[in-house]
Amino acid sequence: MKNLLFVFLLSPLCVFAQISHTVAPKETLYGISKKYNIAPKDLAEYNHLDPNAGLNVGQVIKIPSAKKANPVSSTEPHATENFPGSPENGTPVYHKVKKKETLSVISKQYAQVPLADLKRWNHLSNDIIQEGMNLIVGYKSADAASAPKEKSTVVSKEIPDEPVKAKTSTAEIKVPVPEEKPLSIEPVKETTFVVETRKPLEGEGFFKPEFVVKSSKEESGKAAIFKSTSGWEDAKYYCLHNSAPAGSIIKITNISNGKEVYAKVLDVIPDLKQNVGLILRISNAAAAALGVLTEVFDIKLTY
């Protein structure tokens, strides 16, 4: 009788004991929340997790009781599991980047796929992506033929969309400016190269005081322009370069007339056909300050 009483008193403690889950390979926060019928948001808050950061194999996740969490909703937007394949044995699944989409936004669309995986799969050195890019968001396993079809934004590997085709050598590039609004890139018609009629500001640019020559590297070659709204009112000139680190300042000299400006590096030059042979792309405001009169021109760089 005493034993029965002891078991009866102990039972409630067992029912309300803390449940935990050890993260297995390829598991996501959403997958675990679905397994325990808990909303991903509640599971993340209960464990003090960043929903966008992904999970580590072997990580222990505490599972809240049903009284403390809301059940997962079957109507939650983009509530899909990560694709179960891998780069070694799977077929890549693509997402065509839309206007103003970021890696974080795309991660949420595909069951919180870790940002680190998106960068690794797509060989990205930072979070900058371009509209129209075909971005790998996961890999289908060998038996994925029986899996349900994804939304129209996913393009299979067999028939991928063509890369974004620029109609001229003046690239349509979307590049975010550090601590400022993204540059507004305007399309350029194929048949004309228009010399800017807007008058550039006097002087060599806002970033000249930040210019520091550490290794005195010099480079000469061809440059071209990308269109933006930056620099016309504040002389903040920007450029794309493959060697100087992002955030550094480059001194740019127009070889034809000796004019100079100082521009901040945003990122590398995109690996596109129209960029072959270029060592630099600069904003149109910077090109106007240099007195550029041609679409492609000769420059000397110091950084």
User: Is 6 within a domain?
Assistant: no
User: Is the domain of 236 the same as that of 182?
Assistant: yes
Would you state the pLDDT for residue 195? 57
Q: What is the mean pLDDT of each run of 10 residues along the chain (303 residues)?
A: 48 55 86 81 84 83 67 39 67 87 86 84 86 86 50 43 45 54 45 58 84 79 90 91 90 93 93 92 92 92 90
User: Is the domain of 65 the same as that of 191?
Assistant: no
Would you state the pLDDT for residue 277? 93
User: Is 83 within a domain?
Assistant: no
User: Is the domain of 70 the same as that of 147?
Assistant: no
Q: Which residues span the domain enclosing 267?
A: 165-303
C-beta separation of 226 from 171 below 8 A? yes
User: Is 9 within a domain?
Assistant: no
Would you state the pLDDT for residue 255? 93
User: Is the domain of 255 the same as that of 180?
Assistant: yes
Would you state the pLDDT for residue 79? 34
Q: Total domain count for the chain? A: 3
List, in sequence order, every residue forming a beta bridge with 297; answer none if it has no partner.
Answer: 223
* Alpha-carbon distances of 217 from 60, 234, 300, 303, rounded to whole Å: 50, 27, 10, 5
Q: Which CATH number is 51's domain given?
A: 3.10.350.10
User: Is the domain of 148 the same as that of 169?
Assistant: no
Cα–Cα distance between 28 and 9 in angstroms, integer?
Answer: 37
User: Is the domain of 212 the same as that of 110?
Assistant: no
User: Is the domain of 264 the same as that of 133?
Assistant: no
